[in-house]
Structure 1
Amino acid sequence: MTRTLDPSRRVTASTVRLLLTHGALILVPVILLGVALSLGIRSTAESRGLAEGRSAALLVAQTAVVPQLDGRPLSEGLSRRERAALARLVDRAVADGHLLRLRLRDEQGRVVFSDDHRRDAEADAGEHGGSGENEELAEARAGRVAAMLTRVNADGDDAGPVGAAAVEVYQPLTAGDPAELIGVLETYLPYAPIDAEVQAGLRVLYRDLALGLAGLFVVLLIITLSVSRGLRRELAANAWLARHDALTGLPNRDLFMERVAEAVAWAKKSGQPVVVAVVDLDHFKDLNDTLGHSSGDELLVTLADRLDAAVASSGTVARLGGDEFGLVLRAPRDVRAELARLAAVLREEVEVGGLPLAVAPSLGYVTYAGASTSPQTLLQRAEVAMYAAKAGHTGIAEYATDLERFVAADVELIAELPHGLRDGQLTVHYQPQLDTASGAVVAAEALVRWQHPVYGLLPPGRFLPLAEQTDLIERLTAWVLDAVLAHAAELAARGTPIPIAVNVSARSVVREEFAREVIDALARAGVPASQLVVEVTETALLTNPARARAVLTQLDATGVNVSIDDFGQGQTSLGYLAELPIRELKIDRAFVTGMSGDRARTAIARSVVELGHNLGMRVVAEGVETTADLAAVRDLGCDLAQGFHLGRPMDFGALAERLGGTGVLVGATPD
C-alpha cells in the first residue's frame, strides 16, 4: 500500500509547546504595551493632581486672600490689618490641614508675607526678603498660573527639614479695571489627599488595564494559534500535494522517481531484482470525452484503489499523469504472472454513473538486475515497452533493445513536440491529387512534417503514432488546420482554389467540440467550407460510432467534405457507411500499388469504385506509383489519383507554382 493520508488531517506538533512558544512571543509586546500605558496613566494622574492644585490655589486666592487685601500693589507693603488677617487665615488653614504654606510676593517676586516668617524684618519697616526667582515664579509674574509637585522646604533657600509632599502653585494676583498684577500668591497645598484620590483611580485603571491586557493576550494567543495551526496545516498539505496526486492520493511522478531510486539502491544491496512498470489505459480519453471528466475521475480513483490494494506493501503504485500509472515491484517471483494479475484487476468492470465500464490496460516493464542504469532510464524504458504493448495490442511487453519503433529516442522526440509547435519547427507539405480524365491537379492532401533542429526533416510516421496516444494530437490537429486554411486562402487569392484534405485522428472525430473548432477555423481564415476535406479512417469511425456520426453530420451541414481514408483496411459496416455523410472514399494503397498485374486486387478496387459511385461518392486511388497503376485506376473509373508517380509531397510554394502553370503533372495526361 503506497497511499498516505493528507497530513493536514494529523496533529503535527505538541500543543503545549506551541502554546508556550506563541504565548511567550505575544506576552512580550503585551507587557511592553502595559508598561507604556501605565506610564501614560501615571503621567495623566500627575497632571490631574497639578490641575486640582491650581483649582484649589485659585479658590484660596479668590475667597480668602484677595478679600483681605486693599488692592494696592504688594510692593507698597502690607498694612498691619492685612498682615494680621492673613496670619489668622493661614494659621487656621494650616491647623485644619488644608494648607501647608502660604507666601505673598510682590510684582518683582520678593516675599512680603510668609507663614514661616521668612522675612527678617517687619514688612512695614520696608525691608524685603530674597526674591527667590524660579521658572514657576516667572510664569506667575507673566500672568500665568504655574504648578509643580514638590516637598515642603525642598527649595534651596528654605530652612528646616524637607517636609510632606505638596503641590506648589504660583497664582498671579490682580486688581483694578483693567486688571493689573499686584503680586503673586505662592501656596503649598497638601498632595496626600489628592494623591490618595488619584491612587484610588489609578488602582481601578490598573485593574481594568490588567484585565484588558490579559484579555488581549488571550485573544491574540487564540488568533495566533488558530492562524499558525492553519498555516502549518496548509504548508503540510502543500508539501504533501507536491509529492502526491491530488485526485487519487497516490505518489506523483516526483515521488515515484524517488521510490525507483530507493528500489535500485535496495536491489544493489540485496542482489534481488526490481521491476519498474508503466500502465496506460487504452482509449481512456475517449471514455472521458464521452462520459465527462467527473465520470473519468471517478473511474481513475476506483482503478487506483484497486491497483494500490493489489500491489504488495513493499511495492509502489503512482499516478504519473492522465491515465498513466507507475509500478515498482521488489523481487517478484514471476514478473509476467504478477503483471497479468494486476492487468486482470484493472480489466474488471467498474460501475460509473450506473454504467458498467471496462478498460484495457497496456503494461510495459523493465527489470533491474544490478546493471548500471539510472532511475530515469528505467522509467523511460518501461514507457517504451508500454507503447510497444499498446501498438502491438499484446497487453504486456518487456523492454528489449530491438523495439526500434519505440526506442527512447522516439519517446524523447514526442516530448520535444510541444517545443516544435511553439518554435515554428513544423511545416505542411502537399501531395497533389489529379483528375484521372484531364490530368489536372484538382485537389491536394496536407501532410505535416517536422523540421527538427537535430534530426532534420521528419516524416509524420516518426512522431504522429505516439502523438495520437496523447493530448498532443489535439494541439497538432489545430495547428495543421490553421496552417492549411491559411494556404487555402492564399491559393484562392491567386485564383487557383482547390480542396485540401486534412487527416483527423480518432480522438478528434469523437469530440463534440471538434466540429465547432473546424467551423471557427474556417471563419478565421475566410475560406469556404467546400475547400476543406476532413479525412478519417475506418478505425476512427468505430471508436464511438454515434459520436462520430454527430460530429461528421455537423461538418457536412456546413459544407465540409468528409472522406474515409485507407478504405478496405478496416471493418466498416456497409450499412453504417450508408448512414454517414461521406462524400469521398480513398482506396487503400495496398489495393492500388501494382494492381495492374493482380486480378484479385483489381477486382477489390473495382468493387470499391462501384460502391462509392453507387452511394454518390467521389473515389480517390492512393498509392499510384507507376504509369501502369495510373492506367489501371483510370480504367476502373476512379475520379482522382494520388501517388509518387504523380507527385511527391511538396512545400506550399511548389504547389502554388504548379497550380499557377498548366496544373498538369508530367506523365499524368491521358493517352
Structure 2
Amino acid sequence: MSRKADLPRGRQGSRGLLWSMWVLLGLYLAALMLHEEGLLPRVDVWLGVPAGWAPVAVAWLAAFRAKARLPLVLVAMALTAYTTGSTFYVIALSEGTALPFPSPADASYLLFYPLVLGGLFAYLLSLRQRLASSVLLDAVVGSLGAASVLVVLLAPLLSAASSFPTLATAVAIAYPLLDLIVLAVTAGMAAVPGLATARSGATLMLGLIVFAVADAFYAFRLANDTYQLGTPLDAGWTAGLCLIAAWADGFARQEERAEGASEGSWTPAVPMVATAAGAGVLIVGTGIPVPGLAVALAAATLLSAGIRTQLAFRKLVTLAEVRRQSRTDELTGLPNRRALYADAPELLSARPGMECAFLLLDADRFKEINDSLGHDVGDRLLIQVSERLRRCLRPGDLIARLGGDEFAILLLDTGQDEAVRIADRLRAALSEPLTLKGIAVQVGISVGIALFPEQGEDLKTLLRKADTAMYRAKTSRSGHHVYASEDQNPGEERLRMLQELRAALAEDQLVLHYQPKVDAVTGDVKGVEALVRWNHPRRGLLAPDSFLLLTEEAGLMNDLNSRVLTLALDQAASWHRQGRPMTVAVNLSASTLIDAELPERIATMVSARNLTESALMVEITEDFMMPDRSRARDILSRLQDSGIQIAIDDFGTGYSSLAYLRDLPINELKLDRSFIAPMTHCPRAAALVASTINLAHSLGLIVVAEGVEDRPALEQLGGYGCDQAQGFHILRPVPAAELDEWLSPARLDSGLPSA
C-alpha cells in the first residue's frame, strides 16, 4: 500500500487541493508571460479567476480542520474578500463595463487588510503564552522600525495622493498605508523566535511581502500611467494569496510549531536592524525633509529599543545570578558539584605536569546525628564543618560540597606529603566539639587522597580513586589514606553489603553469642556479655568488626542497638523463667549518645519482660563520653536511676580514664586485655593491674578482667582481688543453647568451668 493511501481521506484531499492551487498559479503565470499586455478573457477570466479561488478553498478547508480556528477563519475571509473583488473587477472589464474609482471591487480589496491583520494578531495571540515579554517587545521594535522606513519610501506616493482630498484620494492613500501596516507587522513577526526560520512561518511572511510588493508596483505604475491588465504583475497578488493559503494548510496540519524552533541569531538581528533603521531615519531627517509620521515612528522605535535594552540588561543580571546560584551549594555557600566539574578540569589543564592533590572528605556518623537530632541540626552541623574546612585551606585551593556530608578539595601545587599534612590539619580542625542545640557533638572525617597527574589526569579518575582511598581510611580508622595501586574499589561490594545489612536487620539474621563473667576465685557465674554476630547468607557467621563500621556509616546503629537489646532481654527473660537469673551486658556505641530518649526506651523494654532492672548492664567505651561529657553523664545517670547497671569497657585504652571514674555514674570497670595479656611476665603491667583494682575498689566499683587466656593469669588476678574474669580460658562466646549446656550441673566441677 502506498504512503499516500495510508493518509486519512481528509489529509489526502487537502494535499490534492494544495497541489492543484500551485498548478493553477503556474499555468496562470506562464500564460501571462506568453501573451501581450491587455485583457485576454481566456487567460484573465477562465484561468486567472480559478487560480485566485484555489487559495480561498485551501484556506477554508484548513480553517475547518484546525483546532485553533479563529486565525484561519479570519485569513480565509480575507482571501475570500480579495478574490471576490478581483473576480468582480476582471469579469466587469471583460464584458466592457467601465468601473468608477472607487468601485465595489475596491471595497472588497480594502476589506482584505483588516481581516488578514486580524488573523495575524489572532495567530500571534495564540502564541503569547509561549513568548516572553522581551520577544513581544522585539516584535514591536521591528514593526516600528520597518514602518518608519516604509513611510519614507512611500512618501512621494502618499504626498501625490494627498493633494486631492476626495474619496478617491482616501482610497488611493489607504492602499499604501495598509500595505505599510502589513509589512510592519511582518517585520515584527520576524522577531518571534523560530517563526521566520520555520517553514510555515516563513511561508506566511513571504506571502504577505509578495502581496504588498505587488501592491506597491501597481501603485507606482498607476501613478506613472503605465499599468496594463494582463501582465505578470497580476499574478503577484495571486502568488501572495497562494503562499498565505499554504501557511494556513501547514498550520492546520500542525507539522511545525513556532515553539519548537530554537532561538537563533535571527531573533536579536530584527530589533538591531530596526533600531538602526529608526536611527537612520532620524539622521536623514536632519538633512532632507522627512514626513512627520516617519520621524514619530523612528522615535518610537528608539524608545522601544531602549526599553528592550533595559529588559535585556536585567535579564543578563538575573541570568548571572541564576548561574551563580546553580554553581553554589545553597546550605553552605561553597561551590557545588556542578562548579567542581566545571572549574577543576580547567585548573588541572592549566598546570600540566605540576603536582596537585584531590581530597574526598566524608563526615563520620553524620546520618545518625541528622536522623536523631533533626535535619535543621544536621544543616547547622554542615555549615560549621564547611566553615572550619574553608579556614584550613590556602588561597587558590578549591573546595566544594558534593552533597550530604561529602566534600571535595583540590589542592594546587601540592605533593603527597603536603596533602597528608593538610588532611591532618583538616581532621584536627574538626576534633574540637561542635555545639548544636546546646549539645556538643564531635564529628570526625575520613579523607581519601588521589594525586595528579600520577594517579589520574582527569577529574573523573581522581574522584573515583579518592573515593576508594576514603573508604580505606574509614575501614582502617586511620583518618586518611593515599590511594595506592593495590587498593581495590569497594563500591559495588560495599553497596551489596549495605543492602544485605538492611535485610539482616529486617529478617532476623543477627544473632547473639554469650561469654560468661565468673568470680575470679570461686568460678561462680555472675553474668554474661552479649556479643552480636551476623549469620550472613553468603559469608557465614561474621564478627562485629566486619559490619559495625558500615552500620555506623549507613546510620543503622540505632536499629542495630534496638535489635541487640531485644534479643538480649528476650534471652534474659528466658533464663529468668528457667530459674537462672543472670545479668546480661550489652555494648552501646558512642553514636547512641545523641539519642536522648534512650534511657526511657531501655527501661520500657526491661519492664515489658517483667525483668528487674539489674538484669541488664550496658557497657560503654571511652569514646562514648568524648564528644559531650555532660550529655553522656546525663544519659548514664538516667539509666542508673532506673536500676540499670553501667560498665566502662576497654578501660585503660583512652586518655581520660581517671576523670571518667571521678565524674561518671558507673558500677563496673572492665580492664582491657592489653593489660591482662602481659601481666604474668611483665612486672610493670602487673603493677598497673593491681593498682587499678585497688583504685576501683576504693571507689566502690566491681573490676572485671577481659581476655583471660590461661590459668596462671586467672590465679594472679584472684590474688590481686579482681572480682570477675572473662576470656577464652573460661569460655569463648557461644550461642545461648551451648551456654546452657556449659552451665548444666553435669559440666560443673569443684573448680572453674572451662571450655
Could you say what secondary structure the match of 2:680 adopts?
helix
Secondary structure at 2:656 match in 1: coil
| Conserved? CA contact 2:355–2:414, under 8 Å | no
Q: Distance in 1 between matches of 2:397 and 2:672?
A: 47
Q: Secondary structure at the match of 1:571?
A: coil
Q: Is the 8 A contact 2:392 2:425 kept in 1?
A: no
Question: TM-score, structure 2 length as denominator?
Answer: 0.49
Q: 2:503 aligns with which of 418, 422, 426?
A: 422
1:646 to 725, 730, 735: 730
Deviation at 1:303, TM superposition (A): 4.8
Q: Counterpart in 1 of 2:360?
A: 278
Please state if 1:563 is matched with 2:641: no
* Pick aligned residue for 1:493 from 561, 574, 577: 577
Q: Post-superposition shift, 1:292?
A: 7.3
Decide whether aligned partners of structure 1 residues 32 and 309 sit closer, same or farther in structure 2, where only a CA change above 3 A counts. farther
Percent identity over the alignment is: 33
Counterpart for residue 613 of structure 1 = 697
Residues 312 and 620 of structure 1, relative CA distance in 2, 3 Å threshold: closer
Distance 1:415 1:261 in 2: 31
Matches within 5 A, 1:415-564: 416-417=497-498, 419-423=500-504, 424-465=508-549, 467-468=551-552, 471-523=555-607, 525-564=609-648
Distance 1:591 1:495, change over 3 A: same
Determine the C-alpha separation between the residues in 1 that align with 2:495 and 2:609: 29
The reply to whether residue 635 of structure 1 matches residue 716 of structure 2 is no
Which one of the candidate residues 465, 474, 477 is aligned to 1:378? 465
Corresponding residue of 2:448: 364
Which residue identity is paired with 2:592? Answer: S
Residue of structure 1 in register with 2:477 after alignment = 391
Between structure 1 and structure 2, the one with the greater Rg is 1
SS at match of 1:495: coil
SS at match of 2:470: helix
Farther-moved stretch of structure 1 (255-264 vs 651-660): 255-264
Deviations 1:59-114 (A, max 9, x none): xxxxxxxxxxxxxxxxxxxxxxxxxxxxxxxxxxxxxxxxxxxxxxxxxxxxxxxx
Residue 380 of structure 2 is aligned to residue 298 of structure 1: yes
How many matched pairs? 456
Match for 1:297: what amino acid? Answer: D
Q: Does 1:591 align with 2:678?
A: no
Cα distance in 1 for residues equivalent to 2:434 and 2:541: 47
Q: What pairs with 1:122-271 in structure 2 (closer than 5 Å)?
A: 247-248=331-332
- SS of alignment partner, residue 728 of structure 2: coil
* Offset, 1:650: 0.7
Q: Once the 2 structures are TM-superposed, how far is the Cα of residue 640 of structure 1 from its aligned partner?
A: 1.6
C-alpha deviation, 1:548, in angstroms: 0.6
Structure 2 residue matching 1:613: 3-state secondary structure = helix
User: 1:139 is matched with which residue?
Assistant: none
The Cα shift of 1:435 comes to 2.4
Aligned to 2:405: 323
Per-residue CA deviations over 1:172-214 (Å, capped at 9, x if unaligned) read: xxxxxxxxxxxxxxxxxxxxxxxxxxxxxxxxxxxxxx9xxx9
Q: Where in structure 1 are there 5+ consecutive unaligned residues?
A: 1-27, 37-209, 229-236
Give a deviation string over 1:359-381, Cα, whole Å, max 9, x none: 77653302253668956741333
The answer on whether the counterparts of 1:281 and 1:323 sit within 8 Å (CA) in structure 2 is yes
What secondary structure sits across from 2:722 in the alignment?
Answer: coil
Deviation at 1:326, TM superposition (A): 2.0
AA in 2 matched with 1:298: R
Deviates more, 1:457-466 or 1:355-364: 355-364
1:332 corresponds to: 413
Write the letter of the residue equivalent to 2:717: V
Match of 1:115 in 2: none
Whole-angstrom CA distance in 2 between matches of 1:415 and 1:256: 31
Gaps of 5+ in 2: 1-65, 75-117, 134-258, 260-320
The 3 A distance-change label for structure 1 pair 453 and 297 is: same
Amino acid in the other structure paired with 2:612: P
More helix by share: 2
Alignment CA distance shift 1:637-1:315 (3 Å): closer
Please give the per-residue CA displacement for 1:340-394, whole angstroms capped at 9, x wherever unaligned: 5587589399998899999776533022536689567413333145438x8346x
SS at match of 1:595: coil
Deviation at 1:609, TM superposition (A): 2.2
Work out the CA distance in 2 between the residues paired with 1:633 and 1:306. 48
Letter in 2 for 1:441: V
More strand by share: 1
What displacement does 1:503 show? 1.2
1:3-28 deviation line (CA, Å, top 9, x unaligned): xxxxxxxxxxxxxxxxxxxxxxxxx7
Query: Does the 8 Å contact 1:646/1:666 carry over to 2?
Result: no
When residues 472 and 550 of structure 1 are mapped into structure 2, their CA distance, relative to the original with a 3 A threshold, is same
Residue pair 2:377, 2:437 contacting (<8 A) in 1 also: no
Is contact 2:693-2:722 (8 Å) kept? yes
CA contact (8 A) 2:356 2:415 kept: no
The alpha-carbon distance between structure 1 residues 352 and 458, as it changes in their structure 2 partners (threshold 3 A), is closer
* Equivalent position amino acid for 2:568 in 1: V
Q: Deviations over 1:619-652 (max 9, x none)?
A: 2111111111111122222222100000011122
Aligned mates of 1:633, 1:285 — CA distance in 2? 43
Distance 1:260 1:457 in 2: 47
Q: Is the 8 A contact 2:332 2:383 kept in 1?
A: yes
Mapped contact 1:506–1:540 kept (Cα < 8 A): yes
Q: Distance in 1 between matches of 2:656 and 2:405?
A: 28
1:658 aligns with 2:742: yes
One-letter code aligned to 1:383: M
* Cα separation, 2, equivalents of 1:585 and 1:309: 41
Q: Deviations over 1:507-542 (max 9, x none)?
A: 213542332332343355554322111111233223
AA aligned to 1:379 is A
* Structure 1 residues 374 and 381, CA gap change in structure 2 (3 angstroms): same
Flag the 1:590–1:354 CA change in 2: closer, same or farther, 3 A. Answer: closer
TM-score, normalization by structure 1: 0.55
SS at 2:653's partner residue? coil
Per-residue deviation, 1:595: 2.5
The Cα offsets for residues 151-185 of structure 1, whole Å up to 9 and x where unpaired, read as: xxxxxxxxxxxxxxxxxxxxxxxxxxxxxxxxxxx
Q: 1:418 to 1:651 in 2, by over 3 A?
A: farther
